[in-house]
């Protein structure tokens, strides 16, 4: 179990030589995902002020569709697994679960899907935020 945790957490730090930035080096997917979502949500909140009332509901929904309290293999049928792996938090949560508890590691395909969704959210969120930033003051 400790060996898995070392492989998952310490080896990327040694490869990246990022000892000055341990949080960012250990959690790049979560950091970039949070940045992409925050860019989208801050721009949308400027357009529609009622979003801040719906945000707690959206966060709870995100907790239910991500494998935080359950194991993916136990509840998600095999025929839906391909679609389910497009959730950007499935692969990182499964990877941390594998490192700490053992079991089945996430597939490389799931990690790639997660990376693609995160990159898409970051790029599109940045573009949307820059476009809205110019006119948001007029709408407030």
Number of H helices, E strands in the chain: 9, 0
pLDDT digits (tens, 9 = 90+) for 82-133: 888 898 888 888 888 887 777 778 888 888 888 888 889 889 989 988 888 8
Decide if 98 is inside a domain. Answer: yes
- In this prediction the pTM is 0.69
Q: Is 92 exposed, middle or buried (0-12, 13-18, 19+ CB in 10 A)?
A: buried
pLDDT digits (tens, 9 = 90+) for 9-50: 544 444 444 444 344 444 576 777 778 888 888 888 888 877
Domain that holds residue 135: 28-139
What's the number of domains the chain is made of? Answer: 1
Decide if 99 is inside a domain. Answer: yes
Decide if 128 is inside a domain. Answer: yes
């Amino acid at each position: 179990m400790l060996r898995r945790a070392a492989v998952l957490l310490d080896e990327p730090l040694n490869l990246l030589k990022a000892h000055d930035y341990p949080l960012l080096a250990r959690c790049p997917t979560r950091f970039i995902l949070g940045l992409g979502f925050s860019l989208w949500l801050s721009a949308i909140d400027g357009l529609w002020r009622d979003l801040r009332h719906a945000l707690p509901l959206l966060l709870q929904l995100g907790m239910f569709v991500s494998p935080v309290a359950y194991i993916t293999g136990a509840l998600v049928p095999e025929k839906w697994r391909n679609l389910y792996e497009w959730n950007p938090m499935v692969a990182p949560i499964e990877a941390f679960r594998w490192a700490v508890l053992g079991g089945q590691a996430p597939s490389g395909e799931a990690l790639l899907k997660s990376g693609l969704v995160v990159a898409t959210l970051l790029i599109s969120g940045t573009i949307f935020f820059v476009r809205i930033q110019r006119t948001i003051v007029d709408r407030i």
